[in-house]
A = this chain, B = another copy of it.
């Protein structure tokens, strides 16, 4: 039996990736695709790579067009889902790929986003360890049966996955985390800004949101606190590089003095031992973003730098797949009790 699905914001990059993945999901049936300025166009005119969805036409994003589906995926600009979703039935599964419902702290929301705060929904990077409960608890537990889900931010889930195991196991310090990310420009969506022009990005590495202002910082801190961190501090710097997709996050943290290199590695390997979508590479191996292109996979390479006193993790994620659309579908699978891997590939498209 297929669930009926609507995708709001279907003309953007996140919406397009949702549709690409949904088209291959055995249980989900996309019935409605909505857009704003592109409403009225054939989906194929806006997303010419989605050949199997040639029959769909974009309609306006309204409570009416979204109603009557089992599942609604939202890929809207930040600040657009709060009002809209208040009109949807409570038993509709709504998965929001935007930031509106991720943060539990209204203060964080005000400091990093601003505007009306609509409150947090069930948030989950399924594989992230949770402190304070039974051993082995993870964020996925919070998604089971949920009907309002805030899918995580791409950079936030990448850095959180990279460091939470060490926090949870008590082998690294949450103070003085440093993360620097090479990211593709698709994370910025289709905004028509000078900085997003191809000529600006080709052949160049361009930093942005430097010095503690990036909006994913409070989300990472929230995840790490849930993993047991007391007062995490995170220096976070994203650098746009000339690849359309991908995040390669170098996330480092100080090792708790006296911890052996083996104990450090063991924390990660145990945390993700049975996870299909989060894999720790053998010692000496590190991932490339091409390895996860289009896949719902996060690959983590890890080294202990004894001279620097830091663990260095390098994590590769496709920002649109595992970082956004794949995460959203994985969440929906969990919420509905489907196999968590339904419709999601672990294999990247390389080279």
Tell whether A288 is near chain B: CB-to-CB under 8 Å. Answer: yes
Question: With an 8 A cutoff between CB atoms, is A310 at the interface?
Answer: yes
Q: A235 and B252: CB pair below 8 A? A: yes
User: B residues within 8 A CB of A134?
Assistant: none
**B199–A202 touching, CB < 8 Å:** no
Q: Across the interface, which residues of B come within 8 angstroms of A350, CB to CB? A: 16, 47-49, 204, 244
Contact of A176 with B312 in the complex, beta carbons under 8 Å? no
**For the complex, what is the distance from the CA of A197 to the CA of B192, rounded to whole Å?**
7
Q: Select which of B205, B235, B290 is within 8 A of A204 by beta carbon.
A: B290
Q: Answer yes or no: A342 CB below 8 A from chain B CBs.
A: no
A49–B248 contact, CB under 8 A? no
Check if A205 sits within 8 Å of B241, measured CB to CB.
yes
Chain B residue nearest to A349 (CB atoms) is B294
Cross-chain contact of A308 among B190, B234, B292 (Cβ < 8 A)? B234
Q: A190 touches which one: B197, B290, B305, B307 (CB < 8 A)?
A: B197
A137 located at the interface, meaning its Cβ lies under 8 Å from any Cβ of chain B in the complex: no
Interface residues on A, range: 35 or more
Whether A67 sits at the interface, judged by CB under 8 Å, is: no
**Which residues from chain B contact A235 at a C-beta distance below 8 Å?**
178, 252, 305, 308, 310, 312
What 0/1 pattern do residues 252 to 267 of A give for CB contact below 8 A with B? 1010000000000000
Chain A, residues 290-321, CB within 8 Å of chain B (1/0): the string is 11111101010101111111101010100000
Instruction: List residues of chain B with CB within 8 A of the CB of A205.
Output: 182, 241, 243, 246, 248, 288-289, 316
The answer to whether B286 and A210 touch across the interface, beta carbons within 8 angstroms, is: yes
Which residues of A152-169 are within 8 A (CB) of B?
none
Does A200 make an interface contact (CB < 8 A)? yes
| CB of A180 closer than 8 Å to a CB of B | yes
State whether the Cβ of A170 lies closer than 8 Å to any Cβ in chain B. Answer: no
Given contacts A202-B185, A202-B242, are A52 and B346 in contact (CB under 8 A)? Answer: yes
Q: Which residues from 1 to 50 on chain A have a C-beta closer than 8 Å to any C-beta of chain B?
A: 13, 16, 20, 23-24, 45, 47-50
The 4 closest A-B pairs by CB, nearest first: A211-B303, A180-B180, A49-B348, A204-B290
* Interface, chain A (partner B; CB < 8 A): 13, 16, 20, 23-24, 45, 47-53, 176, 178, 180, 182, 184-186, 188, 190, 192-194, 196-208, 210-212, 233-237, 239, 241-246, 248, 250, 252, 254, 279, 281, 285-295, 297, 299, 301, 303-310, 312, 314, 316, 345-351
* Extra inter-chain contacts (12) besides given A48-B299, A202-B242, A349-B349, CB under 8 Å: A23-B347, A47-B350, A49-B350, A186-B351, A190-B199, A198-B244, A203-B245, A203-B293, A205-B316, A210-B303, A239-B314, A293-B349
